[in-house]
Amino acid sequence: MNSPAYIGRFAPTPSGFLHFGSLVAALASYLDARAVGGQWLVRMEDLDPPREPPGAQAAILQALEAYGFEWDGPVVYQSQRHDAYASVIERWFQQGLAYACTCSRKQLEPYEGVYPGLCRNLGHERRDAAIRLRVPELKYSFSDRVQGHVEQHLGKDAGDFVIQRRDGLYAYQLAVVLDDSWQGVTDIVRGADLLDSTPRQLYLLELLGLPAPRYLHVPLIIQPDGNKLGKSYRSPPLPADQAAPLLVRALLALGQSIDPHLAQASPADVMRWAIAHWAPEAIPKVRALAEAQLRKPA
């Protein structure tokens, strides 16, 4: 079988519209794929319908189109992949690797996000319970193409984590790993807010006997006050009529050098130029960048 050397992807969660931070991540993954003649996929991570504003999925795809992104094959929807998630969870539950947790949010508050294993050996029924995966008392590490060496002690820094919520919704960590490998993704390029998720994802890959992809985490774009850009902060959706100048601004955020004429070019021309000049080694080696500090586009 001839497996392609590079398959990249953009995997938006439709809990909001695309904003400048998502554009930076999408652009980095697109350019990194196209610069080496690789494929680029789009996957809609629609795992949480109650938190999805009506029209968000269509708006995301329209924005990608307006900004000159061209994806390969049909968009994959995680809402169509529940059987795959459920069968892995069932298997791990039967094997005792995963267990039911009935702890309330309030009960877990004092532990600041690291689950202390309260339900680990209680043998709860699955009904009305979240499902957690046991983690080993081990460090998981990887070498990020931009951020360098990253490591995390799963037991101390993450704890047994949720793979299916009490309300039945599947967790991002499991779905992303199953789908990336199902789609043959070789290179994950995404925002640095997910750096701390990567060791958990490496553990999931190990359990599944799957090879790890390459990782490149680009700086997260933050507001001057330190807030992450995103729906919670009500950052504005990407305006369709500002595609070229905002692509140029995203290229600046990625440390790329810019041709001054580009801001007046069409989005397709900016993309062509950016693919030809892609320099991943120029991406700033930081986890976050304040949007206001970006140079003004020429």
Asked if residue 32 binds ligand GLU (CB under 6 A), the reply is: no
Judged by beta carbon, residue 13 or residue 256, the one nearer ligand GLU is: 13
Q: Any idea what DSSP says for residue 17?
A: -
Q: Which of residues 75-134 bind Zn ion (CB under 5 A)?
A: 101, 103, 118-119
Selection from ligand GLU, Zn ion, none that 289 binds (CB < 5 to 8 A by kind) is: none
Rg, C-alpha atoms of the chain: 20
Selection from ligand GLU, Zn ion, none that 11 binds (CB < 5 to 8 A by kind) is: ligand GLU
Asked if residue 45 binds ligand GLU (CB under 6 A), the reply is: yes
Query: Would you give the binding string for Zn ion spanning residues 218-247, x where CB under 5 A is met?
Result: ------------------------------
Residues 6 or more apart whose CB falls under 8 angstroms from that of 29 comprise 8, 9, 10, 40, 187, 188, 189, 190
C-beta of residue 288 within 8 angstroms of C-beta of residue 192: yes
Question: What is the number of residues in the chain?
Answer: 298
Alpha helices per DSSP H over the chain: 20-34, 56-66, 82-94, 105-108, 172-182, 198-208, 243-253, 267-276
Judged by beta carbon, residue 154 or residue 188, the one nearer ligand GLU is: 188
Asked if residue 176 binds ligand GLU (CB under 6 A), the reply is: yes
| Closest CB 163 distance from Zn ion, rounded Å | 13
Part of the chain binding ligand GLU (CB under 6 A), chosen from 6-14, 52-60, 102-110, 239-247: 6-14
Give the other-Cβ count within 10 Å of 291's Cβ.
17
Interface ranges with Zn ion (CB under 5 A): 101, 103, 118-119
